[in-house]
A and B are shown apart, each in its own frame.
Chain A
């Protein structure tokens, strides 16, 4: 697994308090990992800070799963 994926996973695990093995490629933050809408905003904020990038609101809406996040961030950094 790439370095970016590891760092994203660490943020997700810490923020949502879920087991690491639950955070799979297709795991939806809201449907599978118990996030509410405010959690998803906070996750995006955390990603922005960790990777020093800006994630615009319309892009943030497309980030639904762990895989989406890794893909978006990999392209943005």
Chain B
């Protein structure tokens, strides 16, 4: 349905479940994709699976220089950068009273500060092209909070406020800036939960099931499409009704 032929996309965290699905969806719609992550092997496996128009651009998002270099590497590989997907994220969960400065800072660095730097580094080309799509993967917990995730929730809520501010600045240049906020998604991370934990979570989800990575990717694909040109500053919640906001 959505055609991204001729567009180039950078996806961070592409070695993960959701990031991989996003890369596949954008590539499937005709876009070139630069796959970023810290682990090269899964990125190369994904690039091989996608075939032509997929490029591996490893980066360490906790390192400022590595982040600054990433948009340039993506442009060098693909020729341009029209779509930025800030998907990478880490967790360092701990109760607030026990949370260390390091746990706080590492999550803010990777989940929020790197997104800021990647957005800043991608804007020049988008401004000149008068077209751009920036999509950040936030989280339901950025809106609702979650015990043990003060750092993660702060970073995920931060993405929303940051995206809205940038959306104001660049809307007149044909650049949209949005967030997708997943609820509970079946990934390697949630596979580790036991049946009792899963049952508890499912009881809070009107849809009665966890979401799939593909369902998040579909939301990202829509926001990346030409058809979503009038949607900016929005957060698209994809959570099976878990939080209707």
Contact = CB atoms under 8 A, between A and B. Distances in A.
B170 interface: yes
B50 to A, nearest CB: 33
A45 interface: yes
Contacts of B242: none
Nearest to A45: B124
Say what secondary structure dominates the interface of chain B. helix
Nearest to A48: B124
A interface, size bucket: under 10
B208 to A, nearest CB: 46
A42 interface: yes
B interface, size bucket: under 10
A38 B171 CA distance: 11
A42 to B, nearest CB: 6
B124 A38 contact: no
A45 B123 CA distance: 11
B25 to A, nearest CB: 31
A45 B127 CA distance: 10
Interface in A25-77: 38, 42, 45
B176 to A, nearest CB: 15
A42 B173 CA distance: 11
Contacts of B128: 45
Interface string B172-183: 110000000000
A45 B126 CA distance: 13
Contacts of A42: 127
Contacts of B173: 38
Which 8 interchain pairs have the tightest Cβ spacing?
A: A42-B127, A45-B124, A38-B169, A38-B173, A38-B170, A38-B172, A45-B127, A45-B128
8 contacts: A38-B169, A38-B170, A38-B172, A38-B173, A42-B127, A45-B124, A45-B127, A45-B128
Interface of B: 124, 127-128, 169-170, 172-173
Interface of A: 38, 42, 45
